[in-house]
Amino acid sequence: MPEPILAILIGSTRPGRVGPKFAEWFRDSAVAHGGFDVELIDLAQLNLPLLDEPNHPRMRRYVHQHTIRWSRTVERADAFVFVTPEYNFGYSAALKNAIDYLSGEWADKAVGFVSYGGVAGGTRAVQQLKQVVTALRMVPVVESVNVPFFSQFIDADGRVAPSDPMIRAARAMLDELLRVTALLRPQLNDVDPGSPAVPELAASRG
């Protein structure tokens, strides 16, 4: 069986953003982890307009090519990580717009969060996002990567220089994403998430 696809979504679009730096660091961590086929999605490059579909997304009667492409991108992923800043105690409008374009494509998929900000490390944005993704039948994992005062972790070359807690948090979140993905996506049960729970589940299915 192929490895599950983990889509890492950059949730900021403004000029001068640091989201891609943290997304690229996490992508490298996910590749090194070895449990996923990793894809990086940049909302700035996706460039979705404000939601312009005339039909409810549950119907999947999309009329615009940008929506059809976005639907296919989300549909093929097995799990997600949202990389999000915190704007005024919340997350970006671009991320909410991208989420709201679709409905069923998000369902029954694990999701984790890499957040960055000031003293709260983006955690207030994550708490709001958890309410939204749960309404879409996604499963947010408890483990997360939260980066306070993010500028201290960007070196002179503009790359993320992670702390030991960030490295441990990323590894723990990837382990949990893999474990939960195997439970939610039974067709992927040949994947070993490094936890005895999933092999036992696979065995119980015969």
Torsion of the alpha carbons at 148, 89, 106 and 182, rounded to the nearest 10? 30
Predicted local confidence at residue 198, as pLDDT:
38
- With b for 16 or more beta-carbon neighbours within 10 A and e for fewer, the 145-181 pattern comes to bbbeebeebbeeeeebebeeebeebbbbbbbbbbbbb
pTM above 0.75, yes or no: yes
Pick the CATH number of 5-204 from 3.40.190.10, 3.40.50.360, 1.10.760.10, 3.40.50.300: 3.40.50.360
First to last CA, the chain: 16
Give the DSSP letter string of the chain: -PPPEEEEEE---STT--HHHHHHHHHHHHHHH-SSEEEEEEHHHH-PPS---SS-GGGT---SHHHHHHHHHHHH-SEEEEEEE-BTTB--HHHHHHHHT-SGGGTT-EEEEEEE-STTTTHHHHHHHHHHHHHTT-EE-S--EEESSGGGGB-TTS-B---HHHHHHHHHHHHHHHHHHHHH-GGGTTS--SSTHHHHHHHHT-
- Output the six-digit token pair for 83: 């990389």
Main-chain dihedrals φ then ψ at residue 163, nearest 5 degrees: -80, 165
Predicted local confidence at residue 190, as pLDDT:
57
Predicted local confidence at residue 1, as pLDDT:
64
What are the distances in angstroms from CA 169 to CA 9, 42, 63, 142, 181? Answer: 18, 23, 41, 11, 18
Predicted local confidence at residue 205, as pLDDT:
30
How do the domains of the chain map onto residue ranges? 5-204
d(CA 25, CA 68): 29
Instruction: Mark the ranges of the chain whose per-residue pLDDT is less than 50.
Output: 193, 195-206
